[in-house]
Amino acid sequence: MTAVWTILPWLLVGGQLAPSAQLAFVSLRDGDAEIYLVNADGSGLKRLTRSPGDDLEPVWAPDGKELVFTSGRAGNQDLYLMKADGSGLRALTRNPAMDCYPCWSPDGQFLAFASDRDGNSEVYRCRRDGSEPLNLSRNPSWDSLPEWSPHGDRIAFLSDRDLNQEVYVCAADGGNAVNVTRHEALECDPRFSPNGQDLIFRTHRDGNIGLYLCHLTTGQMVNLSQNSVWNEEGDWSPDGSRVVYAASPAGHREIMVCDVATRRSVNLSNHPASDWAPQWSPDGKLIAFLSDRDGDPQVYVMNADGSNPHAVSGGIALDAHPAWRP
């Protein structure tokens, strides 16, 4: 395809064209799930993976030079690593069980992931080359979806060891696992704040699916979404002052941004189609999200104030998992 270069206001720095931010994402446009790379202005679309198995969940290394992802190309779901241009592909796990939901340690030296290699889902850690796998959760219950803290000293994960799904936080070596949500309702999707002091998560405790904040030092809980509708996974702004999330105030999903200090939310997308899965850019100036406003879900990017929304993933296709390159 021919790249079309569009000079947008947020790409101009001192009158000169600044290097474009980039996103990895998953698309079904070629018949199965493959990983693509695109500039934030929609130019430079490139297919990174080529496999008959589904390639999913791309996660950038902290230095932006490599991507870890899950793939079924070997007949079961394993973790793979590749360079930012798709070269240097190698398997990190080779196990007949399912390995999924990878996340990086902040220093890029380790990965945490979920695996059912022990007969139940557990949280594991390995080195960036896949060596030295270590079971961190060590519990006969279901443990999954790890999230590394910004300082690298803790890992949040989900567990049903208390007979309902709760958010736990443990040390990076798996020790001192603590239930931080402590409620009989179902909890999910934990995300550490940039300073590591707070955690946002979703909860059923008020009858709907709300977005809450937990102060990890005090245990205080704060209802951020403050509504009675469906709210989806949140993402922190890089400075920790705001949380962007999707909610359904009018029967379809909109992109909302909440000021953490005031708990006031504003609708950024204001569109009759569904918009969801928002992700802040590393510099906090842009937000990527998924939208079906042109038919099938595509990756969109808009300014952090909701202005200038535009499709970037190119063509009508089923796209998912947008991930900003650091």
Write the pLDDT tens digit of every residue in 45-78: 999 999 988 999 999 999 999 999 999 999 999 9
Tell me how far apart the alpha carbons of residues 68 and 271 are, in angstroms, rounded to a whole number: 33
The letter for the amino acid at 123 is V
In a domain, 317, yes or no: yes
In a domain, 139, yes or no: no
Backbone angles phi, psi at 136, to 5 degrees: -90, -35
pLDDT in tens, 113-161: 999 999 999 999 999 999 999 999 999 999 999 999 999 999 999 999 9
Q: Which domain holds residue 6?
A: 1-47+232-326
Residue 77 is predicted with a pLDDT of 95
In a domain, 82, yes or no: no
Tell me how far apart the alpha carbons of residues 163 and 263 are, in angstroms, rounded to a whole number: 31
Buried b (16+ CB within 10 A) or exposed e, 103-129: bbbeebebbbbbbbbeeebbbbbbebe
Run of H or E residues at 264: strand 264-267
Tokens of 219: 């245990």
Q: What is the mean pLDDT of the chain?
A: 92
pLDDT band for position 15 (cuts 50, 70, 90): very low
Tell me which DSSP letter residue 268 carries. Answer: S
What is each CA distance from 153 to 30, 95, 107, 150, in whole angstroms? 40, 27, 11, 8
Rounded to two decimals, the pTM is 0.92
In a domain, 318, yes or no: yes
In a domain, 34, yes or no: yes
First-last CA distance in the chain? 26
Contacts of 96 (CB under 8 A, 6+ apart): 76, 117
Q: Which residue has the tokens 């009158």?
A: 15
Please count the structural domains in the chain.
1
Closest CA to 225 of 188, 185, 256: 256
Of 6-20, 44-58, 312-326, the poorest mean pLDDT is in 6-20
